[in-house]
Chain A
Amino acid sequence: MCRNSRSGSVGSGEALVRYGVAVIATAGGLTLRRALSTLWGGELPYLALYPAVLASVWYGGIGPGLTAIGLSAVGAVAFWLGPDHTLVRPDLSQAVGLVAFVVMNLAICLVVEGLGRARSRAEASAAHQEFLARVSTHLGSSLDYEETLRAIAGLAVPFLADWCSVDIVEGNGLVRRLALACADPAKRAIARRAEIYPPDPHGRHPRTHVLRTGQSVLMPEVTDEMLMQMAGDGDRLADLRALAYRSGIVVPLIARGDVLGALTLATSESGRTYGPSDLALAEELGRRAGIAVDNARLYQQAQEANQLKDEFIATVSHELRTPLQSMLGWVKVLRQGKLTSERTIRAFDVMERAGHAQARLIEDMLDISRIATGRLRLERSKVDLGAVVQSALDAARPAADAKKVHLEMALDPRVGFVPGDSVRLQQVAWNLLSNAVKFTPGGGRVEVRLEPDRGSVRLIVRDTGEGIDPEFIPYVFDPFRQGEATSRRRHGGLGLGLAIVRRLVELHGGSVTVRSDGVGHGSEFCVFLPVNSPPESPSAVSEKGAG
């Protein structure tokens, strides 16, 4: 409350000066004109009063201008229109002259006032432009958006606000305060304390509203009721009161239609109140900051993609060289000519296996390349899904037996033919099965079920293997991603198998899901395939066009 009275006294003091200037200017004009009475008599009665009105309105605005007109009129009547020092009504011609004076000066007042407004608008606009230019310099100077947002908050105080914060929505949906600037350092500690409050689930805080709707909020006058509404508990209300907001603006940080965060501006000690032009400037600031955040994030994503690509190339090189080493190593051993016949057979087995492993890697890479360029096509026919799964199972059995992994199968006889590409569907079943065997230790179990499921067919591959880290689950079907750190992996492969599975299933109009109760708890992949031919999807059409 003391804040209000203080700013009130500042306002009335300023008004006193403005009206004082009007009174003094008018008194000066009247005195000068009276002094000239000996020279001019009754001629040009208002000549010295025009400058007085002009000076009053120029300096003090429309109120002091009107005051000067009123005082001039009264003075003219009192001092020279009627008998001196009386307020006797002037005769008709004098009255016409007086009215003309008043009307002309009213017009002058309006014109001068209009000019003044235009000038202050132009000045404010120039200041806004200069501010935005400085902001833009900062936005362009760094790809570290946290640093950029701190710089923006620093620029906003004191030019736009006494208090400025920038809050960003993180990937996990939580809101984090990235920047805070306060004109009054004592308030920094309070503001810091205010940020550790949990997010308000009811959305009563204007910031929550802005983050949810993307719509700006302008609070010309922050009332105590508003503070009570924002505060969830007593401590918080005390903090909010201590911050002594007078006026506030919250605008969203928006880029490509997404609300990335919120920029909050508030005034307190300056006593300034926000209006629509401040809101417009704040919204522009929010838009620019949003673009900066978006650009920085896109850059980060591009960097990550690039790194993923480098890792992939290293993995490809490793995965191709290892079987090559196997083959060439055993050739060298065979050339030594010291092998027993038993070992010689083993040498040929190893070389054959290594050759097949390399061929499969190359096929996978070609498939991923076809998927990336939209050139993967299906040879559609009627497919006996049971037979397809059975042959994939037969192919996976040697590897499972070698590891002592138990394979179980339950094929529901009601599953008949589905429309699709039998080679590709076998690839789906084989990739899921070989993955399950690969990640299941000896003594474990891999279970395959094929069953009808409300107008579609469901293929389930469940294992008792290593399971999947919950953090990795969202990336399981992304190409090039593998759950293990590259140099310490226990399992070979390029990390393409599941990406290929997903694309092949999608091309069949189906879907694939994954579930795991975490590391050490096995995993379950579930493929749904439609029994009826899927309608030609737009992507399939465009792929044909591209091919």
Chain B
Amino acid sequence: MRSSNDPKRVLIVEDDADVREALAVFLEGEGHPVVEAAHGAEALTRLHDSAGICLIVLDLWMPVMDGWEFRAAQRKDPELAAVPVVVITADKGARQRAADFGEADWMTKPIDFGRLLELVNEHC
């Protein structure tokens, strides 16, 4: 269970290692600890293992388990469903096709890191 004493952390779910690292280094540089996952299945494990995750930064096109499948699994799990999600995707048409995605912020790559930082500050 999470408690107010746990450090708040951002979960970065992104398969491209270079992009993931840039996001992680940037957010840590701004004082936000991060947890990294290379695909949806790994992200689910991280969510269960790590306490205090305050925001999920989610890519959509990923191997093993893509962003849509991850989101469906997350919403089905009552422990995880409430964690807010910001989608970062290089697929510009994805938002129109994501009818049953639930509440989420959407950003198209290349994303504005300043705007992402605002969202992280808001949620964490």
User: A: which residues have CB within 8 A of B?
Assistant: 314, 317-322, 324-330, 332-333, 336, 338-339, 343, 350, 353-354, 486-490
Contacts and interface: CB of A to CB of B under 8 A. Distances in A.
A495 B86 CA distance: 29
Contacts, number: 82
Given A318-B61, A332-B22, A488-B63, 19 more contacts: A317-B90, A318-B90, A320-B90, A321-B90, A322-B19, A322-B109, A324-B110, A325-B109, A329-B23, A329-B110, A333-B25, A350-B22, A486-B61, A488-B64, A488-B65, A488-B66, A489-B63, A490-B63, A490-B64
Contacts of B110: 321, 324-325, 327-329
B91 A333 contact: no
Contact of B92 (A317, A325, A488): A317
B109 A336 contact: no
Interface string B31-71: 00000000000000000000000000000111111111100
Secondary structure at the B interface, as helix, strand, loop or mixed, is loop
B83 interface: no
A326 B29 contact: no
A336 B26 CA distance: 8
B61 A332 contact: no
A325 B108 CA distance: 10
Interface string B108-119: 111101000000
B14 to A, nearest CB: 9
B122 interface: no
B63 A333 contact: no
B16 interface: yes
Contacts of A488: 61-66, 69
B78 interface: no
A339 B61 contact: no
B21 to A, nearest CB: 8
Contact of A317 (B19, B65, B91, B111): B91
B93 interface: yes
Contact of B113 (A322, A329, A343, A350): A329
B91 A314 contact: yes
A332 B64 contact: no
A526 to B, nearest CB: 29
A326 B25 contact: no
Given A321-B109, A326-B22, A314 B63 contact: no
A316 to B, nearest CB: 10
B77 interface: no
Contacts of B62: 487-488
26 contacts: A314-B93, A318-B91, A319-B90, A321-B108, A322-B19, A325-B19, A326-B16, A326-B18, A326-B19, A327-B110, A328-B113, A329-B22, A329-B26, A330-B18, A332-B22, A336-B30, A350-B18, A487-B61, A487-B66, A487-B67, A488-B63, A488-B65, A488-B66, A489-B63, A490-B15, A490-B64
